[in-house]
A and B are shown apart, each in its own frame.
Chain A
Amino acid sequence: MIRRILPPVITGVLLLLAWLALHAALPASQQFLLPTPVRILSAAAARAPELASAAAWTATAALGGFALATTVAISFSLLLASSRLVRAALYPYVMLLQMVPIIIIAPILILWVGAGLPSVIIVTFLISFFPMVVNNTQGLLSADPNLVDLFRMGKATPWQQLWLLRVPSALPYFFTGLRIAAVLAPIGALTGDYLVGTTSGGNAGLGITAMIASTRSEIPALYATAFIACALGWVFVATVSAASWAALHRWHDSYNQN
């Protein structure tokens, strides 16, 4: 146990010391570039309610976009995997849509949907959707051909083949896509907040909070938002990793038996 806990703790302490040393090495007039952890913590404490509501708002947007992307990606990949014809007709456009930069979509979203949570969710959706669709479709199509023969032999209905063979075969791919999306969703929510978010009654997300801190040169607060964003991303990834472990560890080779 100690062997597992000690190395990251030591790394953490060393990083902290390096940070402080770097801070001390800077001339006084430049120390604002790298505020001490204490200053960051006190900046975070001083605006705790604001940061908490911003984090909650961004988490809501990230979760909303992530859930939407997961649902749509699952349905869409089932459609894509259903026939070669559908795939040939739709796949190029899926790829093309992926290329549209969010920064160009932003003004269009504000025109059509209006700035606010729905638009931020759409931005999050757009950012996290594609890796999932690509992975899910690939997974559904990659069932072992011998197993496909087995199911044909067993006179499986198309429905049985889908649920008992293709969907379980796709699970490892699904979780790979989900993990990428879990990294992207909080980033999407932050970017979306910045581009198509709003503030009303103090309901700003982390993106707008960071933007304000940046222009007002509130560097400790900026670092604080960065750490909160990291923590949010970590929660997303950790949750997906746990779900992936629960679904795959008993049988999939990516989880070693020992």
Chain B
Amino acid sequence: MKYLPLLLSLLALGFVGCSQKADPNKITVQLDWVPEPEHGGLFQALAKGWFADAGLNVELVPGGPNAFVTQKVATNKAQIGQADSTNTLLAVNQGLPLLQVAAVFQNEPSVLMLHADNPITDFKQLDGKKIMARPDWAFLPYLKKKYGIDFTLIPFNFSVTNFIADPDFIQQGYYIAEPYFITQGGAKPPKFLYSWDAGFDAYSVLAANSAWAKENPELLRKFIAVYIRGWRDYLENDPAPAHELMKSLNDKNTDGFMAFCRQMIIDEKLVVGRDSTDSSQIGRLDPARYQTQINQLEDLDILPKGALTVDQVMSTDYLPAK
């Protein structure tokens, strides 16, 4: 009994202790998925040695269906993670110390995917349909509310099997990658309904542990500068360094698949921004868009009114000066 306080403090120390690290320049980046071209900028920079050149010791940790990116960054097991802006923002409201510091994709590329000959052409027609998607995707209640429709949700199982088998199937898709597997599976290329066309416009972002970011602003700025350079090089020059590295970490990365994804990222201007004419927007975050998102989530009762301000969830301080 008298050991109880001792035991508890040991336990608490363990919690904190395991997140301490020796090398002050070490940055662990938790990816949201297995290495794929959506991480092209990070891998290009790593493969070319630019992080090391900047004095950074960067490790990229592959993710998957259970990556728990926000939790890992919040507990400082990773200092930076790739995630979608909506769930990261909601996590901040739950007390997780996260700060969104740079964009990956200017538009979070989760879309609704339909078979090419599905007669549905707009969101209103989704009324009464079945949709397979991540149940936590705030876009779904947004759709219901905005268009006054209802549909049945099937939890996303990270596979296109059911989509290929069922011509009426509608599912959430990461539209830079899934079309490849669907056409490989013998179906016609699918068509998409884009969330931003409905006015729901989230980012794919890099989020940092906010305490770590405040303590290491220069380190983070260096990291983001190299990261942006990595994207630019990956998209404009030879992607082979990143592709070779990703192939070695994920043997499902065929040359055909990676070339397809990269071309989608370029064609859809996901990294550079749909309204951009050059590469100056890479990584940029717009506080106004965050304000819109916060308002939308408040309207949906997913976020309590006035619980969050833009400054709490994102910062442009670590991006390079324009």
Contacts and interface: CB of A to CB of B under 8 A. Distances in A.
Interface of A: 18, 21-22, 25-27, 29-33, 106-107, 110-111, 114-116, 193-201, 204, 207-208, 211-212, 214-220
A212 B141 CA distance: 13
Contact of B8 (A22, A30, A111, A207): A22
Given A18-B8, A200-B153, A29 B211 contact: yes
Given A32-B94, A217-B70, 17 more contacts: A18-B8, A26-B12, A29-B74, A30-B16, A31-B95, A32-B74, A33-B75, A107-B159, A107-B161, A111-B166, A115-B152, A116-B152, A195-B157, A197-B154, A214-B68, A215-B87, A216-B87
A110 B87 CA distance: 27
Nearest to A29: B97
Given A33-B15, A216-B90, A219-B94, A110 B154 contact: yes
A25 B165 CA distance: 53
B134 interface: yes
B172 to A, nearest CB: 13
A124 B192 CA distance: 35
B11 A22 contact: yes
B171 to A, nearest CB: 11
A218 B94 contact: yes
Given A33-B75, A107-B161, A198 B90 contact: no
Interface string B161-185: 1100110000000000000000000
Contacts of A217: 70-71, 74, 87, 90-91, 94, 96
A203 to B, nearest CB: 9
B130 A198 contact: yes
B75 A204 contact: no
Contacts of A218: 90, 94
Nearest to A23: B12
Nearest to B169: A110
Q: Name the interface size band of chain B.
A: 35 or more
A208 B135 contact: yes
B71 A198 contact: no
A200 B94 contact: no
Contacts of B15: 25-26, 30, 33
Q: List the 10 closest A-B pairs by CB distance, nearest first.
A: A25-B12, A217-B91, A200-B152, A115-B154, A215-B136, A32-B95, A199-B153, A212-B136, A29-B97, A216-B90
B95 A25 contact: no
Nearest to B12: A25
Contacts of B71: 217
A218 B136 CA distance: 11
A211 B12 contact: no
A111 B4 CA distance: 54
Nearest to A25: B12
